[in-house]
Amino acid sequence: MSATMADSIYDALSARIVAGELPAGEKLRQDHIAREFGTSHVPVREALLRLEAHGLAQSQPRRGMRVTALDPEEVREVIEMRVALETLALTHAIPRLTAGDLRAAEAARIACDAAEDMAEWELKNRAFHRTILTPCAMPRLLATIDDLHIASARHFHAHWRHKWVQRVDKDHAAILGAMQRRDGQAAVELLRRHLKRVR
């Protein structure tokens, strides 16, 4: 019960932070959060510790837990890390791909292209990347990539929300095409270029 509630609180708060609804410096008050979710302080504390572990909140002496600030310099580091780690994951994923994995990736690609607003697109884009990488079966690597995706998501919302337009992502289609041909070298190079373009 407690773990499930902590998950719900973490998911709700992280989504608000990523979307900018909870701005940098905002105090995350345990009593307010506990009241909102109708729960005790125990799952709230657990959720806040997870936010801190994922870089979304920071405990400050005498100031409590607050939403972390967005660092413009972080973008470059996040992209460089995503390039290194996502290409590594895809390299290991390609030989393990099943027909089911490819169907899931195609469905994720179509869902991403069909997104009607920035918030939906960001979630679906994250899902597409996660789907093509999951077959690598390297949980620590995937967990680190998930954290980088959260950091990327905050910057997307902060800087590109008003510039976003619905479009077909040709990079996603090309990456998936190479995966379907089992051309690992091409898929990895396409992913590398795709991620560097974000910058």
For residues 86 and 191, is the Cβ–Cβ distance under 8 A?
A: yes
Q: How far is CA 128 from CA 45, 72, 165, 168, 185, in A?
A: 31, 25, 18, 13, 19
Tell me the pTM.
Answer: 0.84
Task: Show the tokens assigned to 154.
Answer: 């905050």
Q: Between β-strands 57-60 and 64-67, what pairing exists: parallel, antiparallel or unpaired?
A: antiparallel
Tens of pLDDT, residue by residue over 101-160, are 999 999 999 999 999 988 899 999 999 999 999 999 999 999 999 999 998 988 888 777
Tens of pLDDT, residue by residue over 8-62, are 999 999 999 998 899 989 999 999 999 999 999 999 999 999 999 988 999 988 8
How far is it, in rounded angstroms, from Cα 190 to Cα 185? Answer: 9
CATH 1.20.120.530 intervals, the chain: 74-197
Q: Does domain 74-197 have CATH number 1.10.645.10?
A: no
* CATH code, residues 2-67: 1.10.10.10
CATH 1.10.10.10 intervals, the chain: 2-67
Q: Which residue has the tokens 């657990």?
A: 46
